[in-house]
Structure 1
Amino acid sequence: MTQLIALPTHNKNHILHWIITKDCDIDTIKNTQVLKKLVSDHHLILFEVDAEKPPKVKRKITSRNLKTINIEKFKSDVKSELQTIDPENIENLNDALSRILNQPAPITSKQLAERRSAPWLNIRQAKRERRGAEKRWLKSGLNIDRDIYNAKRQNVKTCIKKAKEDHFSDRLKSSKSCKQLFGICDELLGRTKQRCVPNKIKPHELPKEFAAFFQDKIDNLRQNLDSYHVFNDHHIFQGSPFNSFKPVTEDFV
């Protein structure tokens, strides 16, 4: 392991902040700098990492442009299609309605990059005031402007903490059952559950597949139980019996 910071990182000339890397990865850290012209008593460390940027998490969405549908023609097509479909066959009805919808408003899909932001970061006014105070201080360099900027910066931290507490409190209070409460806790802790339903099976066939799986499982259990042979033969013991016991003495032990 190698420590790459050789300059003080605190205004008391202490090295409190390090950059530690393996010897084999030392070339991935480049252009290390220690900036001392900041408000904090701790200095800022800047460096470049020779690494690839992780890909953005993308989500596929599907949609229809329902505004392009001619309502009168759509009603006429549905009415004429219903006259030729067996009312007891739900699958044919779904296929027919999907086919009619696909003509004026086909399904379109696209990939969207997820940009999730914390729901409690809604304190725009406080951040706007902080940014204005920072610009005034950087322009004038006066101590009074620096103190005002520090106060605005601390106010933003306080507002974020308060907004975060209120958000969590409102979410927990909105739960009406233990199930919702645990679901909200999992969401706040980042423990999201992935969908376990197979994607290759059509939705209308999935219940039948589940029913067939459990039915086959029960049938196999019954067959194995029927073929299981229980030994009921009474085997008579032929060895020497122990009919009586004598207590053990201290001398014997």
Structure 2
Amino acid sequence: MSERAGTDPRSPRRPSRRTVGIALGVLLGTVLLLWGSDLLARRAAEGVVAQALQERTGTVEEPSVKVRGLFFLPQVLRGRYDEVEIAMEGVVSGPLRIDAVDARLEDVYLSFHDLLLGDTDRLLVVDTEAEVFLSYEDLNRYLELTGRPLALEAADPGELRVIGAVEVLGATVEASADVALGADGGSLVVEPTRFGGVRGLSGVSELLLGQRFTFRVPLDPLPFAQEITGVEATDSGVVVDVTGDWVVIEP
């Protein structure tokens, strides 16, 4: 039989439409399977981290946790997560309540074994940064519960005032003071800079009054607040920036 003109018998056949459809279906199925596995693993890791933080900090509502990264399964297999974003409200420890916390954790170690169990007794975080909001209401409650007859209030924009009646040399002195915000390690420090409403203070009386109006607020409820790097007074509360490194979170 003669060959058709222009036809090369050695040229490969083109794949049929059915073959192409099957190949595309397999490829799509593989992509969807990987995407679904990635999503499930991501949600599982977020749940374990949220549970550990809730047990450690005592929040009523479970923290919001977002694990970042385009490809997640490699992070799961190595047990280290590049970046985790945290949002918490109502963190309470003893007399102090922290209104809100927004944190970014880098290099969070969570073993694959703990992820499969859905529980962990230890999280290791290499680096942390967080913004903490302390409302004046919560700070005044802290002062009341710790036996300090003082109250904080906003003064001029960006400034803070403390008012109260304290004992100085056997007499009750009512005073107000402009205060400066500072930090000592993981504690917020409030110190008076200028008193008002008090006349005839001697050097000793002013020194004692300054001591009465000075106080510290340890940020113990936060496991990753090792050092305060910034403090700012607002109309409704105090914003504190904190950092930490090689933090161990144990529920």
Task: Tell me which interval the TM-score lies in, with the shorter structure as reference length.
Answer: under 0.3
Q: Which has the higher contact order (CA 8 A, sep 6+)?
A: 2
Q: From the two aligned structures, give the one with the greater strand fraction.
A: 2
Structure with the higher helix share, 1 or 2 = 1
Q: Which one has a bigger Cα radius of gyration?
A: 1
